[in-house]
Structure 1
Amino acid sequence: MVKTQKTEPNQTDRLLVIACGMIAREVLAVKQQLKLDHLELTCLPAEFHFYPDRIAPAMDKAIEKAKAEGYDHIFVGYADCGTGGLLDRVIEKHGVERMAGPHCFAFYQGMEAYAKVADGDMMSFY
């Protein structure tokens, strides 16, 4: 019988996801289920959904901090979420990527279902 030894992720293999606090549970569940030991999570406050103008500046600072801490691989766990494209300017500035979509509801529902609800329900707030 051959024993395999679990090794800790190499410092350069670490992936930091900077996400909205509203999806922290989901990110952690995926991490655990898929055994993504190299993934680390930090979140911006979920209340930023009430203040989308705070998302881009806070993300800019969070990415700068992560890079200063030695993270080479960073992923933004936000859709646009009401920033009007300002979040995309931040991620382009830093050369990172984000979740696709206009809002986290598109992430949860899937883009096609999101578009159908958004177009078909004048009461949808997004």
Structure 2
Amino acid sequence: MAKTQKTKPNQDDKLLVIACGMIAREILAVKEQLGLDHLDLTCLPAEFHFYPDRIAPAMDKAIEKAKAEGYSNIFVGYADCGTGGLLDRICEKHGVERMAGPHCFAFYQGMEAYAKVADDDMMSFY
């Protein structure tokens, strides 16, 4: 009797977005609306907004896991989100890109509107 050999699934045609749990609903809505069947989503805990020091190490592990599962197309669904550049180092290490901007608020508002609010209102807090 022949032994079956386990191989990694081929995920080359898929795009995995590793995102903040806070924007999962929005990503899934866009996926459905545009029929992006090639997009898979996994999320890190939304509570990391309160603990930005946890984002980069968790993202590092999530990217390593995704690569081990056969994903070669990975996108980080986070802005810097308070990591002080640590998330960018993880992205560079793995050769992946992330959303532009300092926070998801900038993503939602647009960079220009975000900058204007931040400049015009000293009480704005992100």
TM-score, L = length of structure 1: 0.91
Question: What residue in structure 1 maps to residue 40 of structure 2?
Answer: 40
Question: What residue in structure 1 maps to residue 57 of structure 2?
Answer: 57
Give the residue type in structure 2 aligned to 1:25. R
Equivalents in 2 of 1:89, 1:11: separation in Å? 25
Equivalents in 1 of 2:74, 2:27: separation in Å? 14
Residues 16-95 of structure 1 mapped to structure 2, 5 A cutoff: 16-95=16-95
Q: Which runs of 4+ in 1 moved over 6 A?
A: none
What do you get for the CA RMSD once the two structures are aligned? 0.9
Equivalents in 1 of 2:47, 2:125: separation in Å? 16
Equivalents in 1 of 2:49, 2:14: separation in Å? 28
Query: Percent identical across equivalent pairs?
Result: 91
Give the residue type in structure 2 aligned to 1:96. V
How far did 1:11 drift?
3.2
Structure 2: state its 5+ residue gaps.
Answer: 1-9
Equivalents in 1 of 2:25, 2:107: separation in Å? 14
Structure 1: state its 5+ residue gaps.
Answer: 1-9
Equivalents in 2 of 1:91, 1:12: separation in Å? 19
Equivalents in 2 of 1:11, 1:79: separation in Å? 25
How many residue pairs match? The answer is 117
Give the residue type in structure 2 aligned to 1:124. S
Question: What residue in structure 2 maps to residue 100 of structure 1?
Answer: 100
| Residues 2-27 of structure 1, C-alpha deviations (whole Å, 9 max, x = no match) | xxxxxxxx731100000000100110
Match of 1:12, SS state, is coil
Equivalents in 1 of 2:70, 2:86: separation in Å? 25
Larger mean CA deviation between 64-73 and 114-123 belongs to 114-123
Larger mean CA deviation between 59-68 and 114-123 belongs to 114-123
Question: What residue in structure 2 maps to residue 113 of structure 1?
Answer: 113
8 Å Cα contact 2:11/2:72 also seen in 1: no
Give the residue type in structure 2 aligned to 1:54. R
